[in-house]
Amino acid sequence: MKKGFYLLLVLVFFLASCSEDGNRSSSVHIQLLLPEGYSTLPYEEMEVTLTNKDQGTVYSLHCSSTGQALFSVEPGYYAASVHYQAASGLVFSGRIESLSLLSDQDEAQGVIELPLSLAKTSALVIKEIYFGGCKGLNNEEYKDDQYVTLYNNSDQTIYLDGLCLGIVDPGNNLESPWMNYTDMKRIPVNDLTWQFPGSGKEYPLAPGEEITIATNAVDHTSGEYQHANSVDLSGVDWGFWDVSLGRQTIAAGVKPMTLLANLNPSLVMYSLPVFGPTFMVFSLQDSPEEYVQDPDNREPRPKASNQEKRYLMVPQEWVIDCIECVKDVNSPKRVPNGLDNGKCYIPGDRYSGRSIIRKKTGTTDGRAVYQDTNNSAEDMEVTLATLKTK
């Protein structure tokens, strides 16, 4: 009888302890820091968000007039972010990717500083990325039908001539050694760098016009393919195609991109990671060919075992638009906040025929206008690949 009584006391104590732990909270004091060149900003209009990376719980608070926000949250690992668009159209954003808040003792850390940066908006934007693939003919996983759509979001004609496209390294869902060990003033391109041909004004893109580039520019729904859940890409504008890539295909009438640099000659195909590419459009200024051949513009991955493998390095200020697509909310970022202050992903199963697309905010002079706040978590949404319905 006495033994059972003591066991009961132990159980009651254990449950009480669990209850206490469940009610514990962690406090964190966030202080926004002004970007260079600014002496004041309307802090009260800015909202700081903490996202629990394990539970998905979101906490949001508006700042005080001095740019401070004091949170009391459940213990855990968090991401902290803020983005604000002024009436002038300027976008200010900041993000801390990993914040450990495990108990009230974290108050000993003092104030957590969250620097704001001024984000630029782009005339040429990445409108859609279809990277997740679909279920193929025999219900197999099929990803040869990927594509990217670019859109002129401005009221001026843009010329595509000489602009470049590429995936940021690492291409898969790994933690980025570049983010961990470099200042990211130069952005690494994974393996292949593609370029629009042209001498300057051969390929105009008028306001409100778009172009699509496919990894395999063929009709994946019929002919020799017969993947009913896929997409007809035989009529797209451009293809990621080069004669050296034996597993790439392109239909007649589709213009091939120029393979400007191939730093992995063993590749026989080009594809977008199904768990999400960080994709960017960039310029290599006046001499792209010379730039990619200069060994000073190629670097190995930091801390990599193979220091012979090189990656083309693009100055951050030369990036025109960048969308960070990842596997899920806990995936690590590959680019600094100045290029993308958020990250987007396709929830649930892969190979679902869905893509990431930019949100439409309205129309101006008859052309669609798409949201561009430099935060893909806010700017992009998940939809069925739009070319399936065209």
Average pLDDT, the chain: 89
Summarize the confidence of residues 84-99 as an average pLDDT.
Answer: 77
> Confidence band (pLDDT; 50, 70, 90) for 7?
very low
Q: How far is 292 from 312, CA to CA, in rounded Å?
A: 7
Q: Are 249 and 158 in contact (CB under 8 A)?
A: no
- CA 9 – CA 77 distance, rounded (Å): 34
Radius of gyration of the chain (CA): 24
Give the residue-averaged pLDDT of 297-308: 94
Residue 118 scores a pLDDT above 90: no
Specify the pLDDT at position 11.
37
pLDDT for the residue numbered 20:
42
Which of residues 307 and 90 earns the better pLDDT score? Answer: 307
Q: What is the pLDDT of residues 271-285, one digit of tens each?
A: 999 999 999 999 998
- Residue 26 has a pLDDT of 79
Residue 390: its pLDDT value, please?
Answer: 67
Note the pLDDT tens digit of each residue in 210-229. Answer: 999 999 999 999 999 999 99
- 56 or 44, which is more confident? 44
Closest CA to 258 of 166, 186, 347: 166
Span 177-223, pLDDT tens digits: 999 999 999 999 999 999 999 988 999 999 999 999 999 999 999 99
Is the pLDDT at 15 greater than 70? The verdict is no
Q: How far, in Å, CA of 80 to CA of 60, rounded?
A: 10
pLDDT at 13: 38
More confident residue, 364 or 255: 255
With bands split at pLDDT 50, 70 and 90, how would you rate the model's confidence at 14? very low
Quote the pLDDT of residue 17.
Answer: 39
Q: What pLDDT shows up at residue 318?
A: 95
The yes-or-no verdict on residue 293 having pLDDT over 50 is yes
Taking residues 30-49, report their average pLDDT: 91
Judge contact between 117 and 335, C-beta under 8 A.
Answer: no
What share of the chain has pLDDT > 70, as a percent? 90
The 3-state DSSP class for residue 227 equals coil
φ/ψ of residue 283, rounded to 5:
-115, 145
Q: Please give the average per-residue pLDDT across 347-364, as a whole number.
A: 94
Q: Choose between 90 and 116: higher pLDDT.
A: 116
Which pLDDT tens digit goes with each residue over 119-151? 667 789 999 999 999 999 999 999 999 999 999
**Which pLDDT belongs to residue 2?**
46
In this prediction, residue 90 has a pLDDT band, given cuts at 50, 70 and 90, of confident
